[in-house]
């Protein structure tokens, strides 16, 4: 059919209520590792890498945090769109497997 299945990594959530659930960060990291390394899909967009604070990978970068520590701000959504555009417009490059 020519359809491609793309996944997006889970974004940081430090200090959001879910973050304090048992093993929440470990589970988020495990899901992201599977997304980044699995052959069960055609590619992925690394929203985690795009939005995270480079000094604290469990947190959203302040400018990308809407204030609740999980939902992106308008600037965060803008960089997510840019990340998606880079991946979608460059098949065979980035994180999309070649046809």
| Domain segments of the chain as ranges | 6-88
Residue 1 pLDDT level (bands cut at 50, 70, 90)? low
Q: Which residues pair with 6 in a beta bridge?
A: 43
- Using a 10 angstrom Cβ sphere, with 0-12 exposed, 13-18 middle and 19 or more buried, the burial of residue 58 is middle
Per-residue pLDDT tens over the stretch 21-35:
999 999 999 999 999
- The residue among 79, 92, 1, 13 whose CA lies nearest residue 47 is 79
Per-residue DSSP letter, 90:
S
Distance CA 14, CA 24 (A): 10
Tokens standing for 57?
A: 């990978």
Q: Is the pLDDT of residue 5 over 70?
A: yes
Architecture of the domain whose range is 6-88: 3-Layer(aba) Sandwich (3.40)
The whole-chain average pLDDT of the chain stands at: 90
Per-residue pLDDT tens over the stretch 64-79:
999 999 999 999 999 9
Query: What pLDDT score was predicted for residue 57?
Result: 96
Q: Are 93 and 3 in contact (CB under 8 A)?
A: no
């Amino acid at each position: 059919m020519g359809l491609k299945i793309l996944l997006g990594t889970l974004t940081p959530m430090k200090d959001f209520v879910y973050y304090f659930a048992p093993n929440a960060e470990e589970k988020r990291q495990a899901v992201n590792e599977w997304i980044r390394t699995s052959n069960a899909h055609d590619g992925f967009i690394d929203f985690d890498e795009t939005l995270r604070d480079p000094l604290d990978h469990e947190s959203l970068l302040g400018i990308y945090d809407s204030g609740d520590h999980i939902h992106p701000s308008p600037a965060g959504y803008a960089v997510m769109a840019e990340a998606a555009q880079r991946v979608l417009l460059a098949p065979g490059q980035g994180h999309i497997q070649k046809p």
